[in-house]
Structure 1
Amino acid sequence: MSTEAPKRDQWQWENATAGAAAGFATVAVMHPLDVVRTRFQVNDGRVSNFPSYKNTAHAVFTIARSEGLRGLYAGFLPGVLGSTISWSLYFFFYDRAKQRYARNREGKLSPGLHLASAAEAGAIVSFFTNPVWLVKTRLQLQTPLHQTRPYSGVYDAFRTIMREEGFSALYRGIVPGLFLQVSHGAIQFTAYEELRKVIVDFKSKGSTVDNQNPDKLLNSVDYAVLGATSKLAAVLLTYPFQVIRARLQQRPSGDGVPRYMDTLHVVKETARFESVRGFYKGITANLLKNAPASSITFIVYENVLKLLKPARRND
């Protein structure tokens, strides 16, 4: 019996494990900036229950002073859970898609197929993780100015949302979330793969390293540069989807009516009152968080993968 299928499945689970470790490390380090970003995103200047921050540094200082460390790490548990699940599933399905596309192409993929692989993985991950991101957003937006009873934790948030708004509320923001996950991941991973090829080609000139194992040419600095650069490209092109999703996922007011009814309503209201600038609120905190966060993610992912490869070969 051929052992090819078990080896391929094992390789995919190694990618999933490495992705999960990368996601956890990223959130643990960068979460306070995620809280700041979310609060900037939903503050349209017309809502009284959100504090007004001058800039990212002022936001961090204000939250730390008025809410303490708990405020800076609001939504941390669903953030860790969502990021770990998201990265794990993303790398798993991304690797599966690449293997499927590469079967009849001698293992070589074009930028278009890298894009298709990333988009496919992103679409699948969106449906699994949207409820977790919604709860994270709700917890991050709880401030001392809120009049409604705050959620006491992740379980209470899920239970209260289901009781007050129904199951469908867990999928508020799924449309922009789907566009975000597909486009963001596709752009980031395509840029990562193509830049990786450039670096490998450059380093391989005059190198005695086996061309069948180009990973030996790359180190953590390379992974950091690749991760930050690819993330920067993805953030700049897809950020408005993040703002739209965050605004849709806000908790309804006391009368139970959501501030924004759907994606089109968010777009119309934001364009009307805030113009293009409104779609990029919080982008400074987002870049400060995601450029180094993506570096951490890919450093952890690639190095965990290297640790797992010898174990696979020894089985």
Structure 2
Amino acid sequence: MYVCYGGVQFTTYRTTTQLLSQLDPHRLPQPVESFISGALGGGIATASTYPLDLLRTRFAAQGSGEQRVYGSLFASVKDIARNEGPTGFFRGCSAAVGQIVPYMGLFFATYEALRPTMATAPELSPIPLPPGSGDAAAGVVASILAKTGVFPLDLVRKRLQVQGPTRALYVHRNIPEYRGVFNTIGLIFRTQGIRGLYRGLTVSLVKAAPASAVTMWTYERALKLLQEHEIAAGRNE
């Protein structure tokens, strides 16, 4: 899922960024360009890989107990297709896209705003950074800010993914029944308060921050190598 997601996301992000840069003399402000490119890349990547995300969540929810809902990846695909139909693979997709569009938009807008200082000119950064770590540091800060801002929708996405005919068979039998994005948000807010919408945020940040650091550091290094190769190839011609 992550291989496919990353490929679609960065291809869309880079392509959209290049297209928006050609809008002169009516070019959009840089933060707006980054937001649009990031939001579009995240939305398309999420929608195209969503069935894999749903399967991952269901396998994680069923645990490793004796009473397992799905025995294998093939069995899970077959079972969902038979009992829930094609739409079963996209249960909660609207919440996922609704969460990822502002998340990736905010992430890339923040990242591109921080990168000139933290990566290109680290001596201007208020925090001393080791050489070559600016991209990773910008990715960490951008991830924390963006993830915190849209976390309730990420929580709703995961709650909806474990719904359906097999909900009662999961190891954790106390999973309530949710119907739709707004119904889920309202039910969580009424029963658990505002804190319920941020349940698991700390763990999510611990996971997302280093992942974003590695992703952006790798992306920038790979992009630089490809650009250098393209320049060298052009000189040889």
TM category, shorter = 0.7 to 0.9
- TM-fit CA distance, 1:256: 7.7
Is the CA contact (8 Å cut-off) linking 1:253 and 1:259 kept in structure 2?
Answer: no
3-state secondary structure, aligned to 1:141: helix
Q: Which of 120, 131, 150 is residue 40 of structure 2 equivalent to?
A: 120
Alignment match, 1:132: 52
The amino acid of 1:127's aligned partner reads A
Residue 134 of structure 2 is aligned to residue 222 of structure 1:
yes
* Residue identity in the other structure for 1:228: V
Mapped contact 1:247–1:260 kept (Cα < 8 A):
yes
Matched residue of 1:220: which SS? coil
Q: Which residue of 2 aligns with 1:14?
A: none
Q: Counterpart of 1:288?
A: 206
CA contact (8 A) 1:101 1:109 kept: no
CA distance in structure 2 between the partners assigned to 1:108 and 1:132 by the alignment: 35
> Could you tell me which residue of structure 1 aligns to residue 215 of structure 2?
297
TM-score normalised to structure 2 length: 0.83
Separation in 2 of the partners of 1:244 and 1:272?
14
Q: CA deviation at 1:264?
A: 1.8
- Go from structure 1 to structure 2 and tell me whether the alpha carbon gap of 1:160 and 1:306 turns closer, same or farther (over 3 Å shift): same
In the other structure, the counterpart of 1:279 is 197
2:104 counterpart letter in structure 1: G
Unpaired runs of 5+ residues, structure 1, are: 1-81, 206-217
Given the superposition, is the C-alpha separation of residues 150 and 220 from structure 1 closer, same or farther in structure 2, using an over 3 Å criterion?
farther
2:178 aligned to 229, 238, 260, which one? Answer: 260
Change (3 A) 1:133 1:254: closer
Q: Given the superposition, is the C-alpha separation of residues 203 and 277 from structure 1 closer, same or farther in structure 2, using an over 3 Å criterion?
A: closer
Among candidates 154, 158, 168, match of residue 246 of structure 1: 158
Aligned mates of 2:199, 2:153 — CA distance in 1: 11
For residue 35 of structure 1, what is the aligned residue in structure 2? none
Q: Please, which runs of 5 or more residues in structure 2 have no aligned partner?
A: 125-129, 170-175
Q: What one-letter code is carried by the residue in structure 2 that aligns with 1:239?
A: F
What is the letter of the counterpart of residue 85 of structure 1? Answer: C
**Using the alignment, how far apart are the partners of 1:304 and 1:291 within structure 2?**
20
* Amino acid in the other structure paired with 1:220: G
Residue 162 in 1 paired to residue 81 in 2? yes
2:84 maps to 1:84: no
For 1:200 and 1:255, how far apart are their aligned partners in 2?
A: 46
CA distance in 2, matches of 1:144, 1:181: 29
What residue number does 1:8 align with? Answer: none
Q: Is the 8 A contact 2:51 2:89 kept in 1?
A: yes
Q: Give the aligned residue type for 2:32.
A: G
Cα displacement string for residues 48-88 of structure 1 (whole angstroms, at most 9, x for unaligned residues):
xxxxxxxxxxxxxxxxxxxxxxxxxxxxxxxxxx2221121
Could you say which structure has the greater relative contact order, defined with CA pairs below 8 angstroms and 6 or more residues apart?
Answer: 1
* Matching of residues 19-34 of structure 1 within 5 Å: none
> Which string of whole-angstrom CA distances, capped at 9 and with x for unpartnered residues, describes residues 153-202 of structure 1?
32222121111111101111111111111011000000000111234674
Counterparts of 2:191 and 2:28, CA distance in 1:
48
TM-superposed deviation, 1:142? 1.2
Structure 1 residues 202 and 249, CA gap change in structure 2 (3 angstroms):
same
Give the direction of change, closer, same or farther, for the CA distance of 1:144–1:118 in structure 2 (3 Å limit): closer
Distance in 1, matches of 2:24 and 2:116, equals 17
Change (3 A) 1:168 1:256: farther
Residues 102 and 109, structure 1, Cα contact 8 Å, conserved in 2: no
Kindly indicate whether the alpha-carbon contact (under 8 Å) linking 1:184 and 1:238 is maintained by their aligned counterparts in 2.
yes
Indicate if the aligned counterparts of 1:223 and 1:295 stay in contact, CA closer than 8 A. yes
One-letter amino acid of the structure 2 residue matched with residue 164 of structure 1: N
CA distance in 2, matches of 1:124, 1:263: 19
Amino acid of the structure 1 residue aligned with 2:161: Q
Corresponding residue for residue 173 of structure 2? none
**What TM-score do you get using the length of structure 1 for normalisation?**
0.64
- Distance, in Å, in 2 between the alignment partners of 1:142 and 1:122 is 27
Residue number in structure 1 paired with 2:94:
175
Measure, in 2, the Cα distance between the counterparts of 1:100 and 1:152: 45
Aligned to 1:231: 143
